[in-house]
Chain A
């Protein structure tokens, strides 16, 4: 494999938009092209993430649509759907295309629009990422999946609802430092604890919001990237799966796909969790951040909740997690999330993150989880 670098990033503000997912992607793509100082004609392929476009926008075939809106045609375009990990899965495949020597400059992006439909409908569409025969007919929801994880984690490790709430408080605090975050307001532990119940023990403020948004990153081969001072190198990018059905997962307090993908990504990078300076991980629910910090090896099993409570994952802590505000505060336009997480880590490693900068960050990790914990993609990035 050739070495691969990220040479441009762009994200829209996340939140409510009166524009299509394709337009939102295009805004981010324009920003990424400007950041990379490239003309659109330089793009040799588009890897695109979108999840519920078929439901919320009656739109399939989003790859060539996104390229057309951007104003490029002729290049191969592929839409990836791995639930919430879609554009990070797209990223991994684009890394392989550039690494394999097939293309020199490739764009990865994603766009999602869901706030144009009522919450009952978006809740249903997101649940399509669980099994249509065995789980959806029971009324399983996306918060329901992580509520089952939370109960199992609480039972096994003594994790508390207050520890979960500490994740929300921390990520909202980080979000105040990110001008593109959906929520830029601090919240208190009490607000989280007294918010409306969604799926016990998860409450409203344990859940990330529904969001519209777009993100894009540009990958380049070593030959193209070598002379660029702001290039950030892809040191490892790996994906793993777990059983689709909740019933088949042997221990709901763990996300095995995270553990598998992380082990492979660390191996590719020749690094371990002790080398990671900054992390963007998939906090679709507060418990998801706790379990991910354990699965990525940042903390021992059962210590993820303690780490959040003690501030070890806050900006200024041992391993800052989700300086962008995470999905919780930055927002979660599902098809765009993975690319946006990569964009944040690239920004951090360039030292361009302003008030949310993790000082001296040299190695960063991106973790994105799909739906019912059955897909995870992990990438390790570094600067020279």
Chain B
């Protein structure tokens, strides 16, 4: 899976990991070698997009190009399949953020850019 195909899928609402054909380990984003077994054989593994917040923050002092969006929430999200990824949290009031909160993948589309985000489950 290339970065381009990952983000094209994400734009259409599909979050995709890769599964090691040797040991079954999952990786998102893809890696060349499996961190678990060292083999290099992968197949695409669509994820449900469901997960829970493992840790979170609200960015209030932002880099220049993100300043108009502040404050905004970022979280490490533990996906149902066991892998984790960083994403924006959208459509959740900032005072409702909590570790363990259930969230669902939600592409963050800005022009031709697609980012990882999660909204309410």
A→B interface (CB under 8 Å): 118-121, 123-124, 127, 133-135, 137-141, 143-144, 147-152, 155, 196-202, 245-250, 252
B56 touches A137 (CB 8 A): no
Kindly state the separation between the CA atoms of A140 and B63 in the bound complex, as whole angstroms. Answer: 8
Q: A139-B88, A247-B86, A252-B76 are in contact. Are A200 and B3 (CB under 8 A)?
A: no
> Interface residues of B toward A: which range?
35 or more
B28, CB-defined interface residue at 8 Å: yes
A residues near B108, Cβ cutoff 8 Å: 138
Q: A155-B99, A252-B76 are in contact. Are A123 and B62 (CB under 8 A)?
A: yes
A residues near B84, Cβ cutoff 8 Å: 247-250
A137 touches B54 (CB 8 A): no
Q: List 8 A-B contacts (CB under 8 A).
A: A120-B64, A143-B59, A148-B55, A148-B74, A149-B55, A202-B57, A245-B86, A252-B76
Kindly state the separation between the CA atoms of A120 and B69 in the bound complex, as whole angstroms. Answer: 13
Kindly state the separation between the CA atoms of A121 and B63 in the bound complex, as whole angstroms. Answer: 7
B61 touches A141 (CB 8 A): yes
16 extra interface residue pairs, beta carbon distance < 8 Å, beyond A198-B61, A245-B86 = A119-B61, A123-B63, A138-B86, A138-B88, A138-B116, A138-B117, A139-B62, A143-B59, A143-B61, A148-B55, A152-B55, A155-B99, A197-B58, A198-B60, A248-B84, A250-B84
A127 touches B57 (CB 8 A): no
* Of the residues B29, B57, B115, B117, contact of A151 by C-beta under 8 Å: B57
Q: A199-B58, A199-B59 are in contact. Are A121 and B64 (CB under 8 A)?
A: yes
* A256 CB to nearest chain B CB (Å): 13
Instruction: Closest A residue to B27 by CB, please name it.
Output: A248
